[in-house]
Structure 1
Amino acid sequence: MTDHGPVLPLWLCAGCSAPWPCATRRRELLTEYAASPVALVLYMGSYLVAASQDMSWAPAGTLHRRFVGWLA
């Protein structure tokens, strides 16, 4: 179990206070989903939808890069 989960509705990392997903959680997710990268994209897409509701003030492009852009 990771300490680097999101603190809602701020979407900050509980482990290091960086914007979530932080660098540590990204590495963990890449390892966890190494055999199923499409599932990881879908998983992070669901977080993108939730975060966009909590942070409606944030530009869509910024949220996209933050939640799924790093997977490219």
Structure 2
Amino acid sequence: MVTRRPYAGFRPHTPVRPVFRCRECGGAWPCQPVRLVLLAMYRDDRRRLAAFLAARLLAAIEDQPYSEPMELAERFLGWLPKTSKISDAKGGNSQMTADQRNYRE
């Protein structure tokens, strides 16, 4: 059965602070599984996804004062797909879904 929510029943890959490693797979967070989930959750509002990740980036920079901030920025934001000017002009959906509100660290 195919679901409209590809992340339903998915065990959340949440970060362990202060190292920001994935609690589920041990990879550097955001790991590949959570990237796919986040892209699905925020498919209609990439700006909100960028804001969500930027907030986690700031927490990582604060938690890891000896890490290179630009390397952390690449890790947290560098994987985001580029938006087109057409989709950028439309703006994003300002309402958060229940799944977005419930996704926690």
Matching residue within 74, 87, 91 for 1:65? 74
Alignment of 1:1-72 (within 5 A): 2-71=11-80, 72=82
Tell me the equivalent position of 2:89: none
How high is the TM-score relative to the length of structure 2?
0.65
The structure with the largest helix share of the pair is 1
Please provide the CA RMSD for this pair.
1.1
Structure with larger Rg: 2
- Gaps (5+ residues) in structure 1? none
The alpha-carbon deviation at position 39 of structure 1 amounts to 0.3
* Identity between Structure 1 and Structure 2 (%): 33
- Number of corresponding residues: 72
How high is the TM-score relative to the length of structure 1?
0.93
- 1:56 aligns to what SS in structure 2? coil
* Runs ≥4 residues deviating over 3 A: none
- C-alpha separation in 2, matches of 1:49 and 1:66: 12
The alpha-carbon deviation at position 3 of structure 1 amounts to 2.6
- C-alpha separation in 1, matches of 2:52 and 2:11: 16
- 1:38 aligns to what SS in structure 2? helix
